[in-house]
Chain A
Amino acid sequence: MLSVKDLAVSFQTRRGSVDAVRGISFELEKGEILGIVGESGSGKSVTSYALMRILDVGGTIKSGEAVYSGVDLRRVAEKTMRDIRGREISMIFQNPRAALNPIRKVGHQIEDVLRRHAKATRYTAREKAIEALEAVKIRDAVARYDAYPFELSGGMCQRIVIAIALACDPRLLIADEPTTGLDITTQKAVMDLVSELIRAREMSSILITHDLGLAAQYCDRIMVMKDGGIVEQGDPVELFSNPQHSYTRKLVDATPREGESIRSLLPPEDRKPELPHDVSEDALLDVRNLTKTYRGKSGPVHAVKNISFTVKRGQSVGLVGESGCGKSTTSEMLVRLMDATAGEILFDGVDIAAMPAAAFAKNSRRGDIQMVFQDATDSLNPRHTARHTIAEPLQRLGQMGGSELSTRIEELAGLVGLPATLLDRFPHQLSGGQKARVGIARAIALEPKFLILDEPTAALDVSIQAVVLNLLMDLRAKLGMSYLFVSHDLHVVRLLCDHVVVMKAGEIVEQGPTLQVMSNPQEPYTKELLSAAPKPPARRIVA
């Protein structure tokens, strides 16, 4: 159905041309779902844009061919290509809210496509658009027809994007990271819907993703890309259980899954023995009936409702839940950036919730509670060098200066594995993993007792995530810190945490030792979360 031969794409940049895709070839059968997996910069998205000929400015298909039903997509006239897009080959994108025109009713956006490809006239458009909405299982489709994207949830927006893509019954659907940024249960719902629609309509599909587990679950065949080339392709189970290429092996290893230790995420040669971390019985942090209520336009909004949990000295607690469950609000209250409405936060036996957040900055305990933020890039000042960033807490709270300061900065850099030569670089000159290390070094600079990690690896590629998680584990053992690990990724929480707290709509639904909660969940919501997470096939250990 689709046959790609030696496809090469390059981008013209100020520093000359950059090859994004270097001569890849693959075939796609009718009715097949092909997964393209790779980390950022592997050229997987560029490949799909090249097939659709919607490359960004400066991008050109340098050589090769992509034959779809006898038509070379590279050579065909732009006019014909526009007829193919949407009617023969469709695409769905990541970040669904941004993928929709913000000021046009979603119904009209579907109509635009229907009328463009003559699948509807002015008189039948509305009816057909509503049918398209019903096809993607949107409840109350007639009412949703008049909605604007900002009035809909992320999952709902993705359904609209799918409705637009499938409105004209295309034969091939390209899904570019369709669930990135969506909650885990939404991800499952969206993926189930897409695969069901593909099967029902006997379409072919290309699923582009960074998540190996997701690809394994939904694809018939997987292709692994790295630096613009295909390194390996094959059956998902086979690829997982017996990866041939070293890069695939690394990727498979780095994908967190059941029954593995945190060290096994790393390539075998980097697996040092795990350092033990001791959990004592006395509580470092005792949260009692913590509540946060906002004054909303239509009555009070209960962001966090009366939650209680304990973090013991040396313990790592995972705080799990979907967006809007109150986990970020909780962590902001604990790190004392936000005042609680009610409740106590006993830290070392002292109620720090009683002190206003603004005054806490001058408190001697400020250095004891630190935080690593979600976005490694946005949480660094773009005009401060790595050295400057790490120095900030040392100078302000530690009153350090001179040679003592620079010695400590270099010591910290060594601790987080940041080469000293990178200390004088600005954030934009550092890679994602290096920026994460700077953020961690800043947080541990004052040797805090308690570290809050707010999805510290959410924006990182899996192989870098593996390294950062291992770093966090080592630091925990070396410095004896307690962690509150906020995450939506249950696999990661399973690896790193001793205790887990599951939140939903501002309340704790279940908590307990990680192993117990994960293997024998009591609450239906926890069960739902666990079953929604993609399960990568286990890797066969080849002796």
Chain B
Amino acid sequence: MATANTYPRLRAVMMRIAQSIPVVVGVVVISFLLTRALPGDPAAYFAGAAADEASIEEIRVALGLDKPLIQQFFIYVGDLLQGDLGQSISSGQSVAADLAKRLPASLELTLTALIVSCGIAIPLGVLAATQPGSWIDHLCRVVVTAGVSLPTFFTGIVLIYVFYYLLGIAPSPLGRLDFIYIEPDRVTGFYLIDAAVVGDWETWLGALKQLVLPAVTLALFTLAPIARMTRAAMLTALSSDFIRTAKAAGLTNRKVLYGYAFRNALLPVVTTLGMVFSFALGANVLVEKVFAWPGIGSYAVEALVVSDYAAVQGFVLAMALLFVLLNLIIDLAYTAIDPRIGFASK
């Protein structure tokens, strides 16, 4: 225990990781119950339209659905532990394999969008806060308003119309890679990274071209909350007493702005970033549909439409785990930024 006492922040981090375990257990239970509670009989779906009572019953036994709920749950958990999420009826593949293929596609899109969005929104917010009332402040306001008022599918379609149809600079909005390229060997599932790993820059460029328009669409959507929060947090930080102390000590503008104000403003920005990431995963569904992006969002919608329960269950579980992970990362980012947090949760 000596180490835990010497490093209260390390201890707080370990505590936070430990706290996410019950959440994961809860998610597993709920995703199991949710699919059992949904209307419809999976056995009937598996058996097909021409099946009779006996063959449905046979399939029910084969699927283990005749057993008591609690036993089914343990079988489900046992399967989960082995990485088996069941079979998807629509794709005919195992759900785990489907998710493994499609999750990176969604993540690549969302993360790229967020990086682009942060790269624009944070400097914009900082500049707007340092020069309130200037043209950059007004620009910030316009961008923020436009960003929240345009729905993603609309921006997506406009971008396709302008850059693909009118100007012809963008490739056809059909998936992650044009058919003339060969998919890079799977390392991470992120095409940009995989192509870079093997040094196939032609494919890398091809993947990037496909990515630009959907990523920009999503970025425009996420720009607004980040820019707004950065501006507000910077304004608060800049009016704090310690900024006056720093100025009175003759510190350079740069140091005051980035070393003192920005680091303090980062906390609310990181919070917003977490929220925006979850919004973006939700908004993905529409963007993926518009750009025929083979991501997890369109997969879930298709699975729901045909009552493909194993796939829906797998999707819910994957998303929930993703959110748990995301919140964990954000909390850890907090402890890294703010020394007070480790002590508060001691």
A interface, CB within 8 angstroms of B: 52, 54, 56-57, 82-87, 90-91, 93, 95, 98-104, 112-113, 116-117, 148, 150-151, 161, 164-165, 297
Contact = CB atoms under 8 A, between A and B. Distances in A.
A103 B264 contact: yes
Given A82-B252, A84-B250, 14 more contacts: A52-B247, A54-B247, A54-B248, A56-B239, A85-B250, A93-B244, A99-B244, A101-B245, A101-B264, A112-B259, A113-B249, A116-B249, A116-B250, A165-B249
Q: From DSSP, what is the main secondary structure of chain B's interface residues?
A: helix
B53 interface: no
A301 to B, nearest CB: 15
Nearest to B253: A82
A103 B340 contact: yes
A158 to B, nearest CB: 12
A103 B248 contact: no
Contacts of B251: 82, 86, 112-113, 116
A224 B168 CA distance: 75
Contact of A113 (B240, B242, B250): B250
A86 B249 contact: yes
Contacts of B259: 104, 112
A101 B246 CA distance: 9
29 contacts: A54-B244, A85-B247, A85-B250, A86-B248, A86-B250, A91-B245, A91-B248, A93-B241, A93-B248, A98-B241, A99-B241, A99-B244, A99-B245, A100-B242, A101-B242, A101-B245, A101-B264, A103-B337, A103-B338, A103-B340, A112-B255, A113-B250, A116-B252, A117-B250, A148-B339, A150-B339, A150-B340, A150-B343, A161-B245
Nearest to B245: A99
Interface of B: 132, 239-242, 244-252, 255, 259-260, 263-264, 337-340, 343, 346
A541 to B, nearest CB: 42
A116 B240 CA distance: 21
A90 B251 CA distance: 12
Given A99-B242, A101-B260, A116-B255, A52 B249 contact: no
A83 to B, nearest CB: 6
Nearest to B340: A150
Contacts of A100: 242, 245
A113 B263 CA distance: 18
Contacts of A165: 248-249
Contacts of B247: 52, 54, 85
Nearest to A148: B339
B252 to A, nearest CB: 7
Contacts of A150: 339-340, 343
Nearest to A165: B249
Given A95-B241, A148-B340, A102 B248 contact: no
A87 B255 CA distance: 17
A93 to B, nearest CB: 6
Nearest to B248: A91
Given A98-B242, A103-B263, A85 B337 contact: no
B93 to A, nearest CB: 49
Contacts of A104: 259-260, 263
A99 B243 CA distance: 8
A83 B250 contact: yes
Lowest 4 A-B CB distances belong to which pairs? A86-B250, A85-B250, A86-B249, A98-B241
Nearest to A87: B250
B248 A52 contact: yes
A93 B249 CA distance: 12
Contacts of A297: 346
Contacts of A95: 241
Contacts of A57: 132
